[in-house]
Structure 1
Amino acid sequence: MPEITRRIFLENTAVAAGGLVVPGGILSASEKTATPFPTVRDEGRLVSTSLEAYREAKLSGGPGKDGIPSIDKPDFWTAEEAQDYLEDGDKVIGLIENGHARAYPQRILVWHEIVNDAPGQVPLAITYCPLTGTSLAFERGETTFGVSGRLVNSNLIMYDRQSDTWIPQILGVATEGPHAGVALVERPLVWTTWGRWRKRHPGTQVLSTRTGFARNYTRDPYGSYTPLEGYYRPEASPIFPLMQEDERFPPKSIVLGARTATEAVAFSKERLREAGQLVLEGRETTFVAVHDEGLDTGYIFEVPRPLKESAVVEGTGPGNVRWSEDLDARALNAFEAMWFAWAAFYPDSHVHE
């Protein structure tokens, strides 16, 4: 059987324990002003190895630069209009920004990977990498992001069209270009289903198939999430080489991960769904993962001291979780990922098995 590549998929259908902590930016104020680039606003973001190592590990994913076209002028359906296209079990990326709810169907994003949008008048890049199962949103300022055609650890490498700075999606830190070493500002997303999202947010807008491109949005070239088959099967092997490998979970099983300035944590999505709440001790703080049954997603909090298993009372989102103890809990930007990809970027992750 010939080796399966990403090009075939598409053409056939049309340093952690002592890691590098990337600060809010390493460029001078004048350089940032000359080439606007949104940067992280907290104390920094963990990078497990050198930026040079990521540059050396990147490889072609098949299509060239912008060969997978981003959606730069998104058009939206109402929830009622979307009912003619989406089934309740279809995967969507859900976003709330300035009170505006939007859903981005996975069956559209799989062909484009980036939507340059401005929900609630906030310029964002909504990104999805089908090879690693990761969805993240980034503030984009005055620029737009495109698909470079290159990968690292099978993960999408985006590029900033204004400065040609390149950023691996999971890392969220520029590895090459004028802004190398700068971390992007992330905005929270959820990976859920259309039926669950519509029930929680009945007034949501939905990215439509009026993208300006001729694509078969009725199917996924990689397989199916409902039911799981093809590339997305938990035991299936990745297509591309990895910088690190870890067998604590099956390669494509789903974990909920988060990273601080100094460490990374990952929780089994299946285990979290069963337990409702999981606690994991890190090197410096305690991490608590909470399952949101309504959206079948999870949130991760960092707390400064050990806590009881019953500390969380209830909640339907990071800002709505109620605690039975008086804790200084900080919500982290948690997102789901295939285990092989999370482990490749954060090999020293603390894991709740």
Structure 2
Amino acid sequence: MNRTRRAALSGLAAVGAAVAGCLGGRATSGADRDGESAGASSDGASGGDGSPPPTVETEYHLAYEPASLLSESLDGGVGKDGIPSVGDPQFRPIADADLAADEPVFGVVRDGEARAYPRRILSHHEIVNDEIAGEPIAVTYCPLTGTAQGFRRGATTFGVSGRLVNSNLIMYDRATDSWWPQMLATAIDGPLAGATLDEFRVVWTTASEWAARRPDSLVMTEATGHVRRYDSDPYGSYAPVNGYYARNGTLFPPLASTEDGHPKSVVVGARTADGAVAFDKATLLDERVLTGTVGGDGAAVVAVAEPALSTGHVYRNPDGAAVATDGDGYRVGGEGGLAAADLPLDRVLAFDAMWFAWAGFYPDTAFVGDHTWAGYGR
């Protein structure tokens, strides 16, 4: 065992058995999968269920080939579904939910219906296979990279493969058994290798902020079908920040390293087919408007803050339109009073991520901001 792996083992012991499932040896080919069987999953689905998940023609920028990412993946040791996804989530009105005001939740709106998924519950499951307004979706969370993302799943469901790459959750779909690193939304192995999932926005916010914005929202309850201590995060805490979330180090070496900024600081990251860009979240919430470029051609982008939800939005700005604050809203050119989520520009899907994870997957990323360490800017 090398020095790095011993350090990882030591770190895992400190944050609990949930993380221990992420440890194991390197895979060098898809042959390592031959002895695995999805079997009956924890959320009632079985291997090979349904048809493949919906994919999109537009591909996101990848800094590495899928085969290279596969070779860097780590075996989790507990096998498929060792971390159980949830397949029959239960909900109650957010007004009736017993949530602390500052409790982190993941907010989703689909076809006008709003739902919130408490982070402390997803830290034990990582994937919730749900249906909103008749649409099958998956809400996913990786504690080790601080990323919450949503995907359309079609007739299949997603499970936790038990593997990581760049510390990030690798999901698998139960129709084709393809492997999907969450942050990339692109399969690195299986029949759909190279394909890109149909992704939608998930807002990392707080219970009070989400309830104020969407008082009609439902919130996921602890009735998951599993016995877990949902009042205890196996990795640490965000309020106050401690444990894994506060430590400077990571449990596993990132794909690429950077000496700039705290590795666990939060960026609002966006990727297009041409490249990636990261905006320091604390800087964005403070200054409200940040401009940058993405890709080798330097395509202009602009990020604006939505303080009421402690989040941000990223837009393409090819014509260099002037974007400025306008009271609580924004002005684009001569049009004012615009909400952060409704600028008359082409919005690019963006999500929060720990800086080390974003820079690991996208070592060629553009960066805008001050590399602020401020309790994640949450």
Q: Same fold (TM over 0.5)?
A: yes
1:52 aligns with 2:67: yes
Q: Please state if 1:295 is matched with 2:309.
A: yes
Matching residue of 2:350: 334
Question: Could you tell me how far apart the structure 2 residues matched to 1:186 and 1:169 are?
Answer: 10
* Partner of residue 193 from structure 2, selected from 169, 180, 201: 180
TM-score, structure 1 as length reference: 0.87
Once the two structures are superposed, the pairs formed by residues 61-210 of structure 1 within 5 Å of their partners are 61-82=76-97, 84=98, 86-210=99-223
CA distance, structure 1, for counterparts of residue 87 and residue 268 of structure 2: 29
Greater shift in the superposed pair: 303-312 or 70-79: 303-312
Contact 1:132 1:341 in 2 (8 A): yes
Say if 1:7 and 1:63, in contact at 8 Å, map to a contact too.
no
- Cα distance change, pair 249–150 in 1 and its aligned pair in 2 (3 A): same
Shift in Å, 1:35: 4.5
- The Cα offsets for residues 26-49 of structure 1, whole Å up to 9 and x where unpaired, read as xxxxxxxx95331025x3211111
> C-alpha root-mean-square deviation of aligned residues, in Å?
2.0
Identity %: 44
Per the alignment, residue 238 of structure 1 pairs with 250
Deviation of 1:305 (Å) = 2.8
Which one-letter code corresponds to 1:96 in the other structure? V
1-side partners of 2:353 and 2:111: how far apart? 26
> Which residue number in structure 2 is paired with residue 310 of structure 1?
324
Aligned equivalent of 2:289: 277
Equivalent in the alignment of 2:24: none
Displacement of 1:346 after TM fit?
A: 0.7
Q: CA–CA distance in 1 between the matches of 2:19 and 2:323?
A: 49
Counterpart-to-counterpart distance in 1, 2:147 and 2:127: 12
CA contact (8 A) 2:51 2:155 kept: no
CA contact (8 A) 2:268 2:352 kept: yes
For residues 13-70 of structure 1, what are the alpha-carbon distances to aligned partners after superposition, in whole Å with 9 as ceiling and x for unaligned?
9xxxxxxxxxxxxxxxxxxxx95331025x3211111111100000023432101000
In structure 1, distance between residues paired with 2:52 and 2:80: 22
> In the alignment, is the contact (CA less than 8 A) between 1:294 and 1:316 conserved in 2?
no
* C-alpha contact (below 8 Å) 1:158/1:169 kept by paired residues: yes
1:82-128 alpha-carbon deviations (Å, 9 max, x no partner):
1x2x1010000000001100000001000000000011111111000
CA distance in 2, matches of 1:11, 1:142: 29
Q: Normalization by structure 2: what TM-score?
A: 0.81
**Structure 1 residue 4: deviation in Å?**
1.5
Counterpart residue number, 1:248: 260
Give, as a single letter, the amino acid of the residue that structure 2 aligns with 1:174.
A
Kept in 2: contact 1:278–1:289 (CA 8 A): yes
Instruction: Describe the superposition over 1:143-164 as per-residue Cα deviations: whole angstroms up to 9, x where unpaired.
Output: 0000000000000000001110
Check the 8 A contact 1:278/1:309 in 2, yes or no: no
SS of residue in 2 equivalent to 1:80: helix
Aligned amino acid, residue 351 of structure 2: F
